[in-house]
Amino acid sequence: MSKIGNGCAWGCLISVLVLFGLGFLLTLAGMMHAKGALNLAEKWGHRTSIESLGVDEYPDLTEVWSCGAGDVKVVRIPVRGMIMLESDSWEMGNSDSVLASIRRATADSEVKGIILDIDSGGGGITASDILYHELLRFKEAQDGRVIVSIFGDMAASGAYYLAMASDVILAHPTTVTGSIGVIIQAYNFKELAAKIGIKDVTVKSGDNKDLFNPFEDVKPEQRALFQKLIDSMYDRFVTLVATGRKMDKEAVRRLADGRIFSADEAFENNLIDGIGYWEDAQQTAAELLGCDDVYVIRYEEQMSLLDILRSRRGFGMNLLLNSLGAAAEPRVMYKMR
């Protein structure tokens, strides 16, 4: 047999072995997934008729035991990074996973509580409000349910906004929180464009159709339009904090100038209920539910490499272009600067 023939034979053999190995690993992973689901089903069962729910109402997530050994089921939901929904950017946080987790917990009648593990500087106003709304729906779906929030390095602006659905808020001693307010930013390239010979060509139906055009100065009347919008969103934020923290609205407004607070300052100003660590949040949830300990789970998404690539379209040069486009597109945000 020639050297070429030997090379082909060895190549085919290696390919078969690789495929066999991948098949074995996938089979093993499926068996472990099934075993974990069976163990949870034996412990809890599912009284909810999931056959009647769509995939958005009852997302396909795997339950994993996180900690605790009580008889009351609680879900730990991490909130990380920028709060934006259905984003293609690698830089965004896990807001889509948070939304799916809340909806999964809402549909599971065995879940009695949520512990929000928050480390975020906020994000989009609508994304923050949707997560807040879904958290309220979780409690409304069944009497006696509770939500506890524990803040990590940061829980600011939109992240603080969604925590207003909590029954108790705790912060680590080193947490930075607050930044209650609204912001909109945009870049202006007018002077740079003039230097390098770029001209803006815009055809529009009205004077305000190209608000925040990066090649034109912002007119005073246009700035006033944005300020009116910002003021409206700001008032909603202040009202929500006043309701969630049971504070006078004007007292909240005095704190809501965008400033950030240390954990001690936040506690002194009634923006949080206490300072502690994860075990304190777990114990708080147990106390609110009237038990000695809780059985804490978290959800994991089962994603293949193809799913990851398909769900993250902003890659390579597209990522750069998307980032530049996002910078040029102004957004009203509940986030820190």
Residue 83 DSSP symbol: B
* Element of type H or E holding 111: strand 111-120
Question: What are the catalytic residues?
Answer: 157, 209
| CB distance 74 to 285 below 8 Å | yes
Cα 239 to Cα 316: distance, rounded to the nearest angstrom: 42
Residue 52 phi/psi, 5-degree rounding, is -90, 5
Residue 245 phi/psi, 5-degree rounding, is -100, 5
Q: What amino acid occupies position 101?
A: S
What would the two tokens of residue 314 be? 């902003």
Smallest CA-to-CA distance from 157 within 93, 96, 87, 241 is with: 241
Smallest CA-to-CA distance from 289 within 76, 150, 147 is with: 147
Q: What amino acid occupies position 201?
A: V
Beta bridge partners of 168: 148
| CB distance 125 to 182 below 8 Å | yes
Cα 317 to Cα 324: distance, rounded to the nearest angstrom: 11
| CB distance 87 to 262 below 8 Å | no
Cα 224 to Cα 164: distance, rounded to the nearest angstrom: 30
Cα 104 to Cα 49: distance, rounded to the nearest angstrom: 13
